[in-house]
Structure 1
Amino acid sequence: MEVHVHGPGPAAPFLRARDIFETEHDLDSPVHVHVRENPDERTWTAHPDDHVLNISRQAATSAMAPELALHEFAHMARHEQAHPSHTQSTEEVLFLALSGKSVERRRVAHCYQIANHMKDIYADDITLRVGPTDKLVSFLESELAAAVADRPGRSRDGQTGGRDGLRITSTADPEITAVNAAFALALVERHDLVDSDHRLYDLAHAAANDAPEVSLSAFKHRFKSLGPDPDESEYRRSLVEATREYAVGGGEKAAD
């Protein structure tokens, strides 16, 4: 597995992540990591020919850098596998789920976060089999705590994060914060990472109390119960149903 690091940042976290990743997986195409000086640069991947990982220097030098790289390598593996979670067009799903409906712009923006969570579930099915888990659990806890603490007065601009791929942003609306909490619980339960008395549960219930119109348990079940090897139709149906449930309250059979 080839990993090339470019820019003003350390190569060690990415090479360490490569060594861990290679214990069970490999990538056919080389990975080019581009470390950017801009501290606001979001971590994101592209696949023009080889795999490309763009990351800020701040993130590349953080304690989470190896885990972040592992997570992105897992996304790259899912892309090479042509896994439905990584080939399904979110725009197509929005059309199927919301056609003919009147939906607030911020809720449409949040539907992209839901799609990202479903991608992350499948990426982390790889990540959490090969990498450490303690820092991820602490990260989810701290981000959710920040989001819950940011009560009324929080941003209403519809912007969401994504771990720089997975990050739960503290400026999310209460509704998407509740969905983010459901994702966090689904992830840790799917991989048996915490006990039932972990602080994540208290934080998640606090988030749910702030957004009574969002069912924490329903979204947790949606994320947690995603099958390991769905076909394209099955995955599309799951994403359409989750999108419709969040944006318009569900209640209709998903399109195929």
Structure 2
Amino acid sequence: MDVRVRGGGPVEPFFSARDLLATEYDLEQPVVVQIRDNPDERTMVGHYDDRHELIVSRRAATSAMARELALHEFAHMARYEEGHPSHLQPTEEALFLALAGRSVERRKLSHCYQIANHMKDIYADDITLDIGPTAKLVDFMESSLARALVETPSSAPVGWTRLTETADPEITAVNAAFALALLERHDAIDADHRLYDLAAAAAADAPSIPFPQFKTHFRSLGNDPDESEYRKALVDVTRTYALSNEQAAD
């Protein structure tokens, strides 16, 4: 597995993540890591004919989670190369199928894309949690959810997807369901962990969100779905979120 780091940043986290991934998986295409100075730049992955490309901020590349972040992104690349439906299914197509004929506010539509990313993250992290240590990821999810709850408006992820400056209680509840589901899939969290209390608070802040349903959906995703099965799962969870306020009213 060929990893090339450019931009004058640290190389060790990326090489260490490469070595971890290589214990179980390999990438046919080389990985080019571009470290950029903009601290607010989102981490982005691109797939091309001759390479995978990871763009990451210098702040992320020098953080305590740098190796775990790199391993997570390398796992996405592995899923892409193996042709996993979660990484080939166009998100726009699933959203069109889920929301056809309905009017959805822009805020909730943006959240639907975030939920689609959670679906991808589940399958990427099925790799990372199988081959890498889990303690730092659990701590990261706990601190992310705690921060989101503080930022949630008084009227009222987690995971790898970035939260907005002021957390929306509805997507925060879904993020909490994702975090618990992922960790429970891999027996990476004890039943008395503080994350359960935080998740319960997030669910209470968003009564229109069927929290148990989202957690069950994420946790029970099949390991090897075909294209049709994955599309249906993505359509179902998208529709559940987009129509959650209508369902709560009923």
Instruction: Name the TM-score, length of structure 2 as normaliser.
Output: 0.94
Aligned to 1:234: 229
The letter for the 2-side match of 1:78 is R
Do 2:209 and 2:241's aligned partners in 1 also have CA atoms closer than 8 Å?
yes
**Alignment pair present for 1:224 and 2:224:** no
Q: Distance in 2 between matches of 1:172 and 1:236?
A: 28
Quote the offset at 1:244 in angstroms.
0.3
1:55 and 1:139, CA in 2 relative to 1: closer, same or farther beyond 3 A? same
Q: Distance in 2 between matches of 1:221 and 1:173?
A: 21
Q: Distance in 1 between matches of 2:165 and 2:147?
A: 5
The letter for the 1-side match of 2:81 is E
Aligned to 2:204, the other structure's residue is in SS state helix
Do 1:174 and 1:211's aligned partners in 2 also have CA atoms closer than 8 Å?
yes
The letter for the 1-side match of 2:226 is D
Q: Distance in 1 between matches of 2:17 and 2:78?
A: 14
Hey, which bits of structure 1, 4+ residues long, moved more than 3 A?
166-170, 249-252
Quote the offset at 1:171 in angstroms.
2.6
Quote the offset at 1:47 in angstroms.
0.5
Q: Distance in 1 between matches of 2:230 and 2:45?
A: 22
Do 2:158 and 2:175's aligned partners in 1 also have CA atoms closer than 8 Å?
no
Can you list the C-alpha shifts for 1:7-50, whole angstroms capped at 9, x where unaligned?
Answer: 02111110011111111110000000000011111111000220
Do 1:88 and 1:236's aligned partners in 2 also have CA atoms closer than 8 Å?
yes
Aligned to 1:242, the other structure's residue is in SS state helix
Q: Distance in 1 between matches of 2:18 and 2:127?
A: 13
Aligned to 1:66: 67
The correspondence for 2:197, drawn from 202, 205, 221, is 202
Aligned to 1:12: 12
Aligned to 1:30: 30
**Alignment pair present for 1:136 and 2:137:** yes
Aligned to 2:76: 75
Aligned to 1:72, the other structure's residue is in SS state helix
Quote the offset at 1:150 in angstroms.
1.3
RMSD: 1.8
Q: Distance in 1 between matches of 2:236 and 2:111?
A: 14
Aligned to 1:181: 176
Aligned to 1:157: none
Q: Distance in 1 between matches of 2:163 and 2:196?
A: 16
The letter for the 2-side match of 1:115 is A
Identical residues among aligned pairs (%): 66
Quote the offset at 1:170 in angstroms.
5.7
Instruction: Name the TM-score, length of structure 1 as normaliser.
Output: 0.92
1:27 and 1:250, CA in 2 relative to 1: closer, same or farther beyond 3 A? farther
Q: Distance in 2 between matches of 1:188 and 1:171?
A: 25
Aligned to 2:126: 125
Quote the offset at 1:151 in angstroms.
2.6
Do 2:208 and 2:245's aligned partners in 1 also have CA atoms closer than 8 Å?
no
Do 1:143 and 1:169's aligned partners in 2 also have CA atoms closer than 8 Å?
no
- Unmatched runs of 5 consecutive residues or more in structure 2: none
Do 1:116 and 1:162's aligned partners in 2 also have CA atoms closer than 8 Å?
no
Aligned to 2:208: 213
Q: Distance in 1 between matches of 2:164 and 2:64?
A: 18
- Unmatched runs of 5 consecutive residues or more in structure 1: 155-159
Q: Distance in 1 between matches of 2:164 and 2:182?
A: 17
Pairs aligned (count):
245
Quote the offset at 1:152 in angstroms.
1.3
